[in-house]
Amino acid sequence: MAKLAATYELVIASVLSVKRKDTNLTQKQFGARVGLSEFVVARMEQGHTGSLANLYIFTRGLQIQPWELFKEVDDLVNFMRRRDVAVVVKIPEGDDLVPMKRKVVESYATIMKYEFRLPQ
């Protein structure tokens, strides 16, 4: 039976996108605020994270440290794995893994964000 899968790039992109949307800024506004073009912001949110320098700039614009981003990515990976979603570096050809769409991974990131905020 086929299993849903997402790449780490897509998970990172989804966390960046959800966190940027939490700032209530458009990609263009956010890019202007941090010194990145709207195109670069959009590409990063699509899974093309580019350079570490741009990733650092993006996290600073979110007012978080890079390690905080990676902690959230790690939390999301664990959250998805508990729901039987494979998170892989690259989805192999001809495998039983079904690639997830970016919006679906963003939904997981949003659900996880609110699940962690619920009182225990």
Cα–Cα distance list, 11 to 33, 48, 59, 97, 118 (Å): 24, 11, 15, 16, 22
Q: Which domains does the chain have, with CATH numbers?
A: 3-117 (1.10.260.40)
Give yes or no for residue 78 having a pLDDT over 50. yes
Q: Return the higher-pLDDT residue of 95 and 67.
A: 67
Give yes or no for residue 117 having a pLDDT over 60. no
Give the amino acid at 10.
L
Secondary structure class of 97 (helix, strand, coil): strand
Structure tokens at 27: 């990609």
**Average pLDDT of the chain?**
87
For 6-29, the pLDDT digits (tens) are 999 999 999 999 999 999 999 999
Instruction: Judge if pTM exceeds 0.95.
Output: no
- Looking at residue 103, what is its pLDDT? 80
Confidence at 118, pLDDT banded by 50, 70, 90: very low
**To the nearest whole percent, how much of the chain has pLDDT over 70?**
91
